Chains A and B, each alone.
Chain A
Amino acid sequence: MKKVFMLSAAVLMASAGIATAAQCTNDTWNKVMSRGKMVVGVKADYKPWGFRDESGNLVGMEIDMAKAAAEAMGVDVELVPVQSSNRMQFLEQGKIDLMIATMSDRPDRRKIVGIVQPNYYTSGTNIMAPKALGLTKWEDLRGKPICGKQGAFYNKIVTERYGAKVIAFTGNAEAKQALRDKKCIAWVYDDSSIGSDLASGNWDDFEMPLSSEDDNPWGLAVPLAEKDCIFGNFMSGLSYNWLQNGQLIEWEKKWGIKPTSFLADKKERFKDWIE
């Protein structure tokens, strides 16, 4: 039995090309430097972090971060729109060099991609529901159809914790359309994104009635092999500086995002003692 196991494990590992060596090859960093361009995976459907403006350009808070990172490295930037369900694979397969795509930092994800510390943002789970329903607590969702987005980690949580029936669509647009069509009683998503939807004026009959749960920090990611190498360390330092000097708070303001206590707390904690 042990033999069979070791053999199949060896075969699988060989086929997956898993690198067990802890040495730094800095492949991605060197590639970026030698071609003078960094390819960054960002969201294109997540206002105001990453979305398309009226002329079709990718803009948003995370796009500003991507540009700033490339500038700090002295290279050009190329933006590649990614989805929640494929962003980690894009990074793993080298289609992108860096991922800044509203990704919550989860233990299982750390095994796949090199999530860089410190985290740069945070969001909790909440719902957008019609005011007419007057929902007040999470328990109101039990047994009810809830629209969701494939790839969000809290789909599982609201299913298990509150017995909601999550109908997960491939994109936000479909899920929100289904909510408007009254196919579900609520749309479960990040509170920060729902907040900006509500502020847009297109959702006047809707509200965000619950208290947010599972506040979860967001992480940007480099390929796993580079996390403790030049690239990972570089991005760690950059993230730290952005938190420390208030750059992230600036961007938050620029993009009209409701100020989070996360960024304020971090700025306070990292405050320079010589002042």
Chain B
Amino acid sequence: MIDFIRQFFLDLYEVAPRWNFIFFHDPVQWERVVEGFWVTLELSVACVIFSVLIGIVGAWAQGSPNRVLRAVVQGYIQFFRNTPPFVQLLFFYFALGQFTPTYSPDGWLEVPVITNVGWAIISLSFFAGAFNVEIFRSGIEAVPDSTKEAAEALGFNRLQTYIYIVFPLAFRVSLPALNNNLVNLVKTTTQALAIAVPELLYQFVGIWNDYPSAMYPSLTMVFLIYIGLVGILVFSMHRWEKAMRIPGYGL
């Protein structure tokens, strides 16, 4: 079967030199694609998890009675939501990267403790996290005051009310918007190309630079892989949304 696929794409290249699916008949290029896929997956999963955590904590802090904490969260949102993720990536990697601890294996090289993949995860998580805070805030505001008052009457404190009553309800309201933002986040991981993170697009750009005849096939593959990745994400989010429905709550 593998031989058949390889032969098919080799023949295709003979007939149409512009459609060189090199990664299907050259094992080295195939490895690059696989490697890129794993990095993209790693970036996506890590960023989704961290950005949701940032969103949850941020939304809670936004409702805090402490004015300083509220101001910090507001500042964070304004900064990360209103500047381009591309610029953030470059800034984090090149500017902040200088101030993080490094170690030196050979006396000259200064390998930062935070790698470029690390910076990409940090930067993209904070970027998407800023949106998530606002998304969760919209969910929290949708929870009626009377519900919170009822929780208070039962003796819950602010944190308990948030964890057991407000957030579970708010989360359900937030899911569709969260879904949107996470889809965006997975696509934004391609921008990590700017700081040479070897994710999917980086690998494909490398392939079509080495083999110009592989450009259209590479782009086609990028589309297909992202449609697949985002498809899986959207599918599981919808399943989750359904599973979390509270019958009769009207959500």
B109 on interface, CB distance cutoff 8 Å: yes
In the complex, the answer to whether B108 meets A89 with C-beta atoms within 8 Å is: no
In chain A between 1 and 55, which residues have their CB closer than 8 angstroms to a CB of chain B? 1, 5, 8-9, 12-13, 16, 18
Bound complex: CA of A130 vs CA of B107, how far in Å?
A: 12
Tell me the smallest distance from the CB of B212 to a CB of chain A, in Å. 5
- Chain B residues contacting A151 (CB-CB under 8 Å) are 205, 209
Tell me the smallest distance from the CB of A85 to a CB of chain B, in Å. 6
Is chain B's binding surface mostly helix, strand, loop or mixed?
A: helix
- Chain A residues contacting B116 (CB-CB under 8 Å) are 167
Tell me the smallest distance from the CB of B42 to a CB of chain A, in Å. 17
B181 on interface, CB distance cutoff 8 Å: no
Q: Which residue of B lies closest to A156 (CB)?
A: B210
In the complex, the answer to whether B212 meets A112 with C-beta atoms within 8 Å is: yes
Tell me the smallest distance from the CB of A93 to a CB of chain B, in Å. 11
Q: Which of B112, B209, B211, B216 contacts A150 (CB 8 A)?
A: B209
Bound complex: CA of A160 vs CA of B196, how far in Å?
A: 19
Q: Which of A16, A111, A153, A178 contacts B210 (CB 8 A)?
A: A153
B94 on interface, CB distance cutoff 8 Å: yes
In the complex, the answer to whether B15 meets A13 with C-beta atoms within 8 Å is: yes
Bound complex: CA of A9 vs CA of B15, how far in Å?
A: 7
Q: Which of A88, A130, A160, A174 contacts B212 (CB 8 A)?
A: A88
In the complex, the answer to whether A182 meets B202 with C-beta atoms within 8 Å is: no
Bound complex: CA of A185 vs CA of B110, how far in Å?
A: 9
Q: Which of A18, A156, A174, A181 contacts B98 (CB 8 A)?
A: A181
In the complex, the answer to whether B206 meets A183 with C-beta atoms within 8 Å is: no
In the complex, the answer to whether B109 meets A109 with C-beta atoms within 8 Å is: no
Known: A5-B12, A170-B193. A185 touches B106 (CB 8 A): yes
Q: Which of B11, B18, B90, B212 contacts A18 (CB 8 A)?
A: B18
B16 on interface, CB distance cutoff 8 Å: yes
In the complex, the answer to whether A108 meets B196 with C-beta atoms within 8 Å is: no
Bound complex: CA of A26 vs CA of B162, how far in Å?
A: 72
- A–B Cβ pairs within 8 angstroms, 11 of them: A18-B16, A18-B18, A84-B209, A108-B211, A108-B212, A112-B212, A150-B205, A170-B194, A174-B94, A174-B195, A185-B108
